[in-house]
Amino acid sequence: MLAMMFILYIIVRTQMNPEQAPLPEPKPGDPQGAEKWALFGAFLSIITAGFSFALFLRVVFFTLAGQNVYEEGVDAIAYGTPDYIPWFGGLTAISLGLIIFAFGIERARTGWNMGKGLVAPIVVIGVVLGSIYGGISGITEAAGMGVVAVLIISVFRGEASFDLVWESLMRTLKSTGTIIWVTIGAAALAGAYTIAGGPRFVADMIVGSEMPTMFVLLSMMFILLIMGAFMDWVGIVLLIIPVFLPIVMRLPIEEIGVFGQLEPRHLATWFGVLFCMNMQVSFLSPPFGPAAFYLKSVAPPHISLTDIFKGFLPFIGIQLVALAVLLMWPSIVTVLL
């Protein structure tokens, strides 16, 4: 939902003022018009053929190994049952047909040479998200699989070396070491707070004060917005969620939102999405919005942090609108799940 809002804003803004999104000057020999779309279609057909053929081989392997037999009470392998063989095989055949007969081998070769730089990022994203949604690994393990995929790609490209691996390990240690110590300290504080009965006491006090439910939620969102401007989201999760979640679970669910009715089993999920949406604002909000410093590191020297934060303002507004939609229409979470 948030990405859709961003895309719509960018399209409308650039259509109203095309000077804000100038296209690079074409170089001599660059494809123009329909030829550019044909090259893109040829490149996309190559990617589709490779991906569908890999899935086809995966299903064939599971079938030959007897690992995709239907069993009572056991979830089937995602996209790995025998009935997917004709689908993946047909998609591979259609893609190859487009490459050979529609676009042509020469055009497909040119399209591949122009777009092959996108293959490595697509593979890494596919490995990480595919391992998560395919049920192969959890979120943490999927990050490790992404690292292995990057290492294998660097070996194939001839860029792997001991110095590269060592530098990557040192940077990872520096970036995660701080988070680990914050996690240890926050976990100790949260554990002591829970043992002392803090979450139950605060929840009883707030629920017993008979404050309006939406006022309680708006107060939580305001606190998270303020903390997100000065703290990392990991610390906020470990420090604030143990306090806020018991309160939310005790609130009368029929008073949450304005439109639609949230089911009790989706209450914790809705609050988790609400929290994540709130933390999206923290990545852009001054004074410590990390996204601004990421952009500053790659921006031309004449663009200041002030300019970047000014450019963030419309996107912060869109994020607040999305946050308001989740608060007023909580059942939208079940639609987007």
- Identify the pLDDT of residue 1: 76
CA angle 133, 146, 58 (to 5 degrees): 55
Tell me if 40 is assigned to some domain: yes
Higher pLDDT, 312 or 259: 312
Residue at a domain's end among 126, 160, 194: 160
Which of 31-35, 151-155, 189-193, 211-215 is the most confident on average? 151-155
pLDDT of residue 158: 85
Residue 207 above 70 pLDDT?
Answer: no
- Examine the domain organization and report whether 197 and 317 are in the same domain: yes
How much is the pTM? 0.64
Tokens of 61: 């392997």
Would residue 109 count as lying in a domain? yes
Q: Specify if 281 maps to a domain.
A: yes
User: Is residue 34 exposed (0-12), middle (13-18) or buried (19+ Cβ within 10 Å)?
Assistant: exposed
Examine the domain organization and report whether 188 and 329 are in the same domain.
yes
Q: Which of 245, 246, 249, 242 is nearest to 264 (CA)?
A: 249
Instruction: With cut-offs at 50, 70 and 90, classify the pLDDT of residue 99.
Output: very high
Is the predicted pLDDT of residue 108 greater than 80, yes or no?
Answer: yes
What pLDDT shows up at residue 89?
93
pLDDT of residue 91: 94
Give yes or no for residue 21 having a pLDDT over 80: no
Same domain, 262 and 296: yes
With respect to residue 175, please indicate whether it lies within any of the assigned structural domains: no
Residues 241 and 309: beta-carbon distance below 8 Å: no
In the prediction, which pLDDT does 286 show?
78
Instruction: Quote the percentage of the chain above a pLDDT of 90.
Output: 12
If asked whether residues 56 and 141 sit together in one domain, one would say: yes
Pair 148, 186 in one domain: no
The Cα 309–Cα 315 span in angstroms is 10
Give per-residue pLDDT as tens, 313-336.
888 899 889 888 888 888 887 776
Number of domains in the chain: 2
- Label each residue of the chain as H, E or C: CHHHHHHHHHHHHHHHCHHHCCCCCCCCCCCCCHHHHHHHHHHHHHHHHHHHHHHHHHHHHHHHHCCCCCCCCCCCCCCCCHHHHHHHHHHHHHHHHHHHHHHCHHHHHHHHHHHHHHHHHHHHHHHHHHHHHCCCCCHHHHHHHHHHHHHHHHHHCCCCCHHHHHHHHHHHHHHHHHHHHHHHHHHHHHHHHHHCCHHHHHHHHHHHCCCCHHHHHHHHHHHHHHHHCCCCHHHHHHHHHHHHHHHHHHCCHHHCCCCCCCCHHHHHHHHHHHHHHHHHHHCCCCCCCHHHHHHHHHCCCCCCHHHHHHHHHHHHHHHHHHHHHHHHCCCHHHHHC
The overall average pLDDT reported for the chain is 83
Range of the structural domain that residue 189 is part of:
182-336
Report which of 306, 280, 302 is spatially closest to residue 292, judged by C-alpha positions.
306
My answer on whether 118 and 151 are in the same domain is yes
Of 309, 249, 316, 305, nearest to 278 (Cα)?
316
